[in-house]
Structure 1
Amino acid sequence: MENSATTIENLIERIEQYSKISFDLYKYSAIYETAALFSSLAVKLVMTLVVAVVALLFTVGLALCLGDALGKTAYGFLLMGGVYILLGIVLYIFRKPWIQTQVSNFVIDSFEIKN
């Protein structure tokens, strides 16, 4: 009888160890996936910032050139503002397929289980 009790205690102890190790494995896996997601988002954010700065400088230069061609610098900036308003309207109209779907797919792909 004592042998049977010892065997059951050993079994329970191994089940507890297995549960703790499995929990730790899932926890570390979640941490790894979260870190990978945030590092990927950070890279995309930095690249977006660089593109935004380049676009801003290009826009200012183009506005100055257009302003010279139109006779007043302000006209160039007004024209570029109108272009960006049109771009904003187009992006607003197509925000779901162009932005929301792409971001959702990126997040889902980042958390896919890798075999």
Structure 2
Amino acid sequence: MEDTFAKAEDLAEHVKEYINNRMDAVKLNTAEKSSKLAATVIASVVVAMFFITFLFFASTALAFVFSRLTGELWLGFLIVGGIYLLLGAVVWVLRERILQLPIMNALLRQLFTDDEDDDDE
């Protein structure tokens, strides 16, 4: 009888240890995925900042080109502003297809990829 209780206590101890190990594994996996996601977001923000800076200078240059063609400085900047207004309207109309779905898919892919592929390399 005592042998049965000893085995039951041993089994309970193994179950507790298994649960603790699984919880630690989940915590580590969550931390790893979160850090990868944060690194991707930070890298994307840095690249976006450089792209926005380039876009600002290119837009200014294009405005001056249109100003020379039209003879009026304000008209060149107005044309560039109109181009951005049209692009903004197109992006707004197509926002779900060109922004929301690709971003959601990229985030989900990053969060739910199997790490077994990384271990093979």
TM class, shorter-chain normalised?
Answer: over 0.9
Distance in structure 2 (CA, Å) of the matches to 1:9 and 1:94: 62
- Is 2:70 aligned against 1:53? no
How far apart are 1:77 and its partner, in Å? 0.4
Question: What SS does the aligned partner of 1:111 have?
Answer: helix
TM-score (norm 1): 0.94
* Root-mean-square deviation over aligned CA pairs: 1.0
CA–CA separation in structure 1 for the residues paired with 2:2 and 2:105: 58
- Using the TM superposition, give the Cα deviation of residue 60 of structure 1 relative to its aligned residue in structure 2, in angstroms: 0.5
- Measure how far apart 1:47 and its partner are: 0.8
* Corresponding residue number in structure 1 for 2:3: 3
Partner letter of residue 88 of structure 1? G
User: What's the % identity of the aligned pairs?
Assistant: 23
CA drift of 1:69 comes to 2.1
Gaps of 5+ in 1: none
Number of residue equivalences: 115
| C-alpha displacement of 1:93 | 0.9
Q: Does structure 1 residue 97 correspond to structure 2 residue 97? A: yes
Counterparts of 1:1-115 in structure 2 under 5 Å?
Answer: 1-114=1-114, 115=116
Looking at structure 2, the residues matched to 56 and 92 of structure 1 have their Cα atoms a distance apart, in angstroms, of 21
Report the residue type matching 2:45 in the other structure: L
Counterpart of 1:44, as a letter, is S
1:9-30 deviation digits (Å, cap 9, x = unpaired): 1111111011000011011101
1:57-102 CA distances to partner (integer Å, 9 max, x unpaired)? 1000110121122112111100100000000011111111100111
* TM-aligned CA distance change 1:113 to 1:71, over 3 Å: closer
Q: TM-score, normalised by structure 2?
A: 0.90
Counterpart code for 1:27: K
Unmatched segments (≥5 aa) in structure 2: 117-121
2-structure distance, mates of 1:105, 1:14: 39
